[in-house]
Structure 1
């Protein structure tokens, strides 16, 4: 199933994800805030705005559905969150779950904090930082949308993960290829699920059990 229209997106949230009326209202308020702020700074591509419920809200919300397993309780870490997708949408859907939104751009983090305050999302923590500068520590769920290729993302973010952490990584058409290119030195249980919002896209889901990035070769090149 591919969700193609705004009406289908909202129907899927109500019927498929069983989102209640109060949460639907909160999501609608998030959409309004996004549309207003996008006139001041380029949060999302303008071409996606007529399909904002499909391209941003459901594209985020599907992470609560596609992993095929019950997500562990605890803090959700969204890396390179940008306009707040998926992290801010997840926080609106699960206001009881702590959600940390990380971005290195000040204007983006200021918008995220304003939006969280307006929406009354006390579960949101906004962090202005590069991922490389974040303190290490375990999280229940890690997400990142269009942040970095999988091998680089895992290398940067493994220190936030335990074998119980669920990774949810929306990718484009290259999801399967990225997974195949992940070095064998990483011990993982990742797989690709079909995106509900794009027939050509996938979501990498699963757990990182251990391992490390491959060591750089010390072999010296031969002199000519």
Structure 2
């Protein structure tokens, strides 16, 4: 049995998730691969697997219950957070993980190939690349954990949105001022998240264009 299986199981249950042992196993395989590749490629600043479990796995899992349905784009996915974690938990959901960093995308492509995952692809490109915008099309949900600025994230997401797309931004503190600047165009639902064993504020912002 994986040394972190019980911890991950308890953490996911505390988040109100009922993940099968098979899914928990996949998540831990992902973390093990991340730890291994991280030694050579510096994919994440977090080195300690125990800390990774909380700050990457459980943090990404905390949005799962509130995430709308549909085809998902994870912008600035880095080593795959939260996009890969969503894809492993929801095999019925089609996910595209996007990042401009070649090493990070190489890691994700290798992991996808090793596990023969059918519902997720990793794409190395800049989010504003016109060709990628044409090729990838529109998405129902657009996530990101990477953007410091909510306004920048919304601007990056725009070309990939249809009229009902929901932007799901993972945040620490609530960016009240930026939300004010967007309120004429977007409705915003703020969901407070409680990540087990993480003593920091976490919020999920769900933004949807206001239809005229």
TM-score, normalised on structure 1?
A: 0.79
Based on CA coordinates, which of the two structures has the bigger radius of gyration? 1
The question of whether the paired residues in 2 share the 8 Å contact of 1:167 and 1:204 is answered with no
CA deviation string 1:103-146 (max 9, x = no partner) = 00111111110011122211111111111113153212111002
What is the correspondence of 1:47-196 to structure 2 with a 5 Å cutoff? 47-65=47-65, 67=66, 71-72=68-69, 74-133=70-129, 134-135=132-133, 137-173=137-173, 175-177=174-176, 179-196=178-195
Which residue in 1 is equivalent to 2:39? 39
What is the RMSD computed on CA atoms of the aligned residues? 2.5
Which residue in 1 is equivalent to 2:22? 22
For 1:36, what is the secondary structure of its paired residue? helix
Gaps of 5+ in 2: none
Higher strand share: 2
TM-score, normalised on structure 2?
A: 0.83
The question of whether the paired residues in 2 share the 8 Å contact of 1:14 and 1:20 is answered with no
Shift of the 210–135 alpha-carbon distance from structure 1 to 2, 3 Å rule, reads: farther
Question: 1:191 offset after TM fit, Å?
Answer: 2.0
Shift of the 56–42 alpha-carbon distance from structure 1 to 2, 3 Å rule, reads: same
